[in-house]
Every structure is written in structure tokens, then in C-alpha cells.
């Protein structure tokens, strides 16, 4: 029963998170670095197969392989569950729920408000996922745990990872000559996501109880 609760909690958490990041991408105010990279991969590969979700899977696969090359432990391949699930869910949200949402059809204030809704949902979903400690982690989280062995402060390790991903996203934006997903909200979300997660954890942890 406890395992079932952990699995369902993880599925709910990632379902909310994939909807949230998909909504942020659709607002075109600036996405999280990982999602911006996925967006630009889909833009730069001229093939309909490479949707944002499939591009997210491609980027995730590369990261898993890099994790294995660096960490040299087979447990890193558990991240593939998250990689395939995350990318597939993103495409489902884009195709069936957010298909009619267009940033061009709304003014900036509406898009900004929707981006903040996405950010709040991201914080809520991540507070659920973080609480569920024994389930598979995303490639970025696996690397974060590894990096903490050398950089003792979690926030420093997280900032270092985000800085590299932002650099990759900006490079791809220059190549694509398209800066739609590198915007003011990219910076805002980087500063606000942590505090939002912290506030939700105060509620989520007592409600879900011990999932370890």
C-alpha cells in the first residue's frame, strides 16, 4: 500500500509539473533553462518528430549518458523513467490541453499571469516530488546529488548546474536566432522557485507524511 502511494504521488507530482512547464513555454515569457533547451532543439531540428517533448527526451538521454560517464554507477539509468515520462506528458499537454493557447492571442499581462500560475504549480509539484525521496530522480537531480560530494552547499551546486544550462540555452537561442524562451521570466523563476517550493513543503510534508 505504501509503495502504491509513493508511485501515485510521483505520478501526480510529475503530471502537475509537466503541465506547469508546458504552460510556461506557451506563454513565451521565458522558460526554465531545461525546457528552453528542449524548445530550441525542436526548433533547430527540421523534423516534425522532434516535438518539444521528444526533444526533452533526447536531451534527457544525453544527460543520463553523461551522468553514467561521470558517476559510473548503473543506478543513473533509473532516470530514464523520468526522462521518457516527462517528455511524453509534455507532448500530451501541448496536443490535447494547451493546443489552442497562443501567446500572440493575449496581451503581455495575461501571458505573464499565466506564467506565474505555471511557476506556482511548478513549486507545488516539486514540493511533492522532493518529499517522495526514494523514487527515481531526473538526470539533473542525480547530477546535483553527485556534485554535492564536491560542493557541499546544495544551492551552490544547483546554481552551477543552472548557469551551465542557461549558457547552453542562450547558445542555442543565438543559433536559432530566436529568443522567445529566454526572457525576463527565466530570471524571475530562477529566483522565486526555491522560496515557493519551501512554502509548499510546509503544507505538503505534513499531509503526505513519511514516504521514505
CA distance 138 to 198: 19
Cell of 165: 544550462
At 109 the pLDDT is 96
**Residues 24-56: tens digit of each pLDDT:** 999 999 999 999 999 999 999 989 999 999 999
At 35 the pLDDT is 94
At 80 the pLDDT is 96
**Residues 69-81: tens digit of each pLDDT:** 999 999 999 999 9
At 88 the pLDDT is 96
At 212 the pLDDT is 63
Average pLDDT over the chain reads 90
CA distance 210 to 204: 11
At 5 the pLDDT is 81
Which letter does DSSP use for residue 78 in this model? G
At 190 the pLDDT is 80
- For the whole model, what pTM was predicted? 0.90
HEC string of the chain equals CHHHHHHHHHHHHHHHHHHHHHHHHHHCCCCCHHHHHHHHHHHHCCCCCCCHHHHHHHHHHHHHHHHHHHHCCHHHHHHHHHHHHHHHHHHHHHHHHCCCCCHHHCCHHHHHHHHHHHHHHHHHHHHHHHHCCCCCCCHHHHHHHHHCCCCCCHHHHHHHHHHHHHHHHHHHHHHHCCCCCCCHHHHHHHHHHHHHHHHHHHHHHHHHCCCC
At 145 the pLDDT is 81
Q: Report the percentage of the chain scoring pLDDT > 70.
A: 97
Cβ of 94: how many Cβ atoms within 10 Å?
19
Cell numbers 530562477 correspond to what residue?
190
**Residue ranges in the chain whose pLDDT is less than 70:** 1, 133, 152, 154, 210-212
Q: Report the percentage of the chain scoring pLDDT > 90.
A: 63
Q: What share of the chain is helix, strand, coil (3-state, %, to 5)?
A: 80, 0, 20
CA distance 34 to 193: 14
At 181 the pLDDT is 95
Judged on CB neighbours under 10 Å (0-12, 13-18, 19+), 177 is exposed
Sequence-ordered list of residues with C-beta below 8 angstroms from that of 66, at least 6 positions apart, any chain: 139, 143
Amino acid at each position: 500500500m505504501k509503495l502504491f502511494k509513493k508511485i501515485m504521488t510521483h505520478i501526480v507530482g510529475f503530471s502537475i509539473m509537466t503541465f506547469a512547464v508546458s504552460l510556461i513555454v506557451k506563454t513565451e515569457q521565458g522558460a526554465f533553462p531545461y525546457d528552453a533547451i528542449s524548445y530550441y532543439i525542436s526548433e533547430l531540428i527540421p523534423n516534425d518528430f522532434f516535438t518539444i517533448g521528444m526533444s526533452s527526451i533526447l536531451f534527457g538521454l544525453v544527460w543520463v549518458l553523461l551522468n553514467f560517464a561521470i558517476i559510473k554507477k548503473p543506478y543513473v539509468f533509473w532516470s530514464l523513467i523520468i526522462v521518457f515520462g516527462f517528455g511524453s506528458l509534455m507532448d500530451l499537454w501541448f496536443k490535447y490541453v494547451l493546443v489552442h493557447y497562443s501567446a500572440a492571442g493575449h496581451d503581455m499581462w495575461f501571458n505573464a499571469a499565466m506564467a506565474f500560475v505555471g511557476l506556482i504549480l511548478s513549486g507545488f509539484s516539486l514540493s511533492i516530488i522532493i518529499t517522495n525521496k526514494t523514487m527515481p530522480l531526473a538526470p539533473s537531480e542525480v547530477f546535483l546529488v553527485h556534485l554535492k560530494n564536491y560542493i557541499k552547499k546544495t544551492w551552490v551546486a544547483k546554481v552551477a548546474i543552472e548557469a551551465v544550462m542557461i549558457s547552453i540555452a542562450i547558445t542555442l537561442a543565438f543559433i536559432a536566432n530566436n529568443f522567445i524562451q529566454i526572457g525576463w521570466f527565466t530570471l524571475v523563476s530562477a529566483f522565486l522557485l526555491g522560496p515557493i517550493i519551501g512554502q509548499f513543503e510546509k503544507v505538503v510534508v505534513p499531509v503526505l507524511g513519511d514516504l521514505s
